[in-house]
Amino acid sequence: MRSKQNLVIVGGGSTYTLGIIMSLVAEKANFPLRKIVFYDNDKQRQEKIAKASEIILKENYPELETFTYTTNKQEAFTDIDVAFIQIRTGGLRMREQDEEIPVRHGVVGQETCGAGGMAYGMRSITDMVALIQDIRSYSKDAWILNYTNPAAIVADALNREFKADERILNICDMPIAIMHSYASMLHKDVWELVPEYFGLNHFGWFTRIYDKEGNDLTDTIKNKILEEGFIPKDKEIAHDESWKQTFKQARQMLIDFPEYLPNTYLQYYLYPDDLAKKEEIGNTRARQVINGREKRVHEQCDQIINAKTAAMIDIESDIHGVYMIRAAASLVYHLQETYIVIVENNGIISNIPNDAMVEVPASLTKHGPKPYVVGEIPRFYKGLIENQLAYEKLVVDAFYENSYTKALQALTLNRTIVHAPTAKAILNDLIKANQGYWPALK
């Protein structure tokens, strides 16, 4: 019998929380819980999700002893074994700014890539550091799993602040979401696939995909993508036009660069002009999410709350939730299962800097993640990664040193921008839009 855990979900008001709750229900044998508590700094936003979650849990998780939600950190973080963090400093309103401002200057406007990613990163660091300090002051041994974006920048800042803390893990669901589509093309279960992968967050490649018996499926996957196309399969994104376009573009990347299977986010760096041209100021991804996922989730909550039952609502566990939960279970119960996670390089990829936060497969153990060796990567990937890494490091430097120059260097290096005057104009606009969130740059 696995011991029961106490879980806090930080960012309880997130549009992803209901999916995580359904995933916790589906995974209760793998990751049994005694207590779930939500924490959010936005009381109202959290309350709606929490009230619906309470009903779902009552109906589907009677074994759970306690469910609470709070805006009080002490109450939330005391006596916790595991923390899932998924916050968005500034909310979707600021995501909209991040995505609009670069587009006004003719370049990619995206949540985590390019100028939008930098803006979001400089907002996230302060809150993330404070949250982790607070969690640590009340639950010093809790496992902290972080989904907060932009994960590359957040992970770098957290590594600077909490280097010795082996119980903080940054993680992203994009590799597993991509693997979910591979699995579906092969008529297999996603958990049967074993990946080899390297890169930075939202900036990586699958070099090989095996099954559990060690059969190499890589070429079959590549051929299928080339012949049949590539489409999102997880229910959360399968019917979303923007995600369908993104997956379609992954096929083009494979045609142009057939060596490895790309993370979908590479489209912004490899085809920045095409992507920028497609963006519409009035229809940013943030807008689509506000009018789409956010609206849908809030309506589902209202229906559940009004009917006092969730029986009629079609919400399922999703790969986003299940990935986080199974990763946590592997850490807590020392299952030594392999997950793609973000860790300090330290020689894993031998020809890039040791202090890079890299995204690679690791065995998740009770002593933390134990990454597998990647070795030397070919020049093309090394070149791209070194460039992106310099951008990421400069963003975090700019944050800690309050440096305008480093922020400008970062944006100029970013492949979605390149032109220094454009970088400068965007930076000046971002500074204005992020007053009160960013440190004052000098």
> In angstroms, rounded to a whole number, what is the distance separating the alpha carbons of residues 193 and 215?
10
Helix (H) or strand (E) holding 8: strand 5-10
Sole binder of ligand G6P in the list 21, 174, 360, 430 (CB under 6 A)? 174
Nearer to ligand G6P, 5 or 148 (CB): 148
DSSP calls for 141-172: T-EEEE-PSSHHHHHHHHHHHSTT-TTEEE--
Contact (CB, 8 A) for 380 and 355: no
Neighbours of 251 (CB within 10 A): 18
Q: Which one of 172-180, 295-303, 372-380, 416-424 is the stretch in contact with ligand G6P (CB under 6 A)?
A: 172-180
> In angstroms, rounded to a whole number, what is the distance separating the alpha carbons of residues 209 and 195?
5
Q: What residues pair up with 289 in beta bridges, in sequence order?
A: none
Which among 131, 136, 143 is positioned nearest to 169, based on CA atoms? 143
Residues 129-158 that bind ligand G6P (CB under 6 A): 149
Least CB distance to ligand G6P at residue 285 (A): 5
265 included as an active-site residue: yes
Site size with Mn ion, rule: CB under 5 A? 2
Site string for ligand G6P, 92-121 (x = CB under 6 A): -------------------xx---------
| Residues placed in the known binding site for Mn(2+) | 172, 202
Least CB distance to ligand G6P at residue 78 (A): 29
Phi and psi, residue 89, nearest 5°? -60, 125
Least CB distance to Mn ion at residue 177 (A): 9
Site size with ligand G6P, rule: CB under 6 A? 8
Residue 254 within binding range of ligand G6P, rule CB under 6 A = no
| Residues placed in the known binding site | 95, 149, 172, 202, 285
Residues 140-179 that bind Mn ion (CB under 5 A): 172, 174
Which among 44, 11, 30, 5 is positioned nearest to 322, based on CA atoms? 30
Contact (CB, 8 A) for 156 and 358: no
Least CB distance to ligand G6P at residue 125 (A): 16
Contact (CB, 8 A) for 264 and 173: no
Is the N-terminal amide bond of 102 cis, ω within 30° of 0?
A: no
Site string for Mn ion, 392-411 (x = CB under 5 A): --------------------
- The residue with its CB nearest to Mn ion is 172
Partner touching 417 among ligand G6P, Mn ion, none, CB below 5 to 8 Å by kind: none
Nearer to ligand G6P, 112 or 139 (CB): 112
Least CB distance to ligand G6P at residue 67 (A): 26
Sole binder of ligand G6P in the list 54, 98, 100, 173 (CB under 6 A)? 173
250-256 long-range contacts, CB within 8 A, separation 24+: 250/178, 250/225, 251/225, 251/226, 254/222, 254/225, 254/226, 254/230, 255/226
Least CB distance to Mn ion at residue 171 (A): 8
Residue 172 within binding range of ligand G6P, rule CB under 6 A = yes
Q: Helix H segments across 186-259? A: 218-228, 235-238, 241-256
Q: Which one of 26-34, 155-163, 167-175, 322-330 is the stretch in contact with ligand G6P (CB under 6 A)?
A: 167-175
Residue 193 within binding range of Mn ion, rule CB under 5 A = no
Active-site residue identified among 173, 234, 318, 429: 173
User: Which position has the token pair 């399922």?
Assistant: 316
Sole binder of ligand G6P in the list 50, 289, 310, 324 (CB under 6 A)? 289
Numbers of helices and strands, H then E, in the chain = 18, 12
Contact residues: Mn ion, CB under 5 A: 172, 174
Q: Would you please indicate which residues are annotated as catalytic (active-site) residues? A: 173, 265
Q: Rule CB under 6 A: which residues touch ligand G6P?
A: 111-112, 149, 172-174, 285, 289
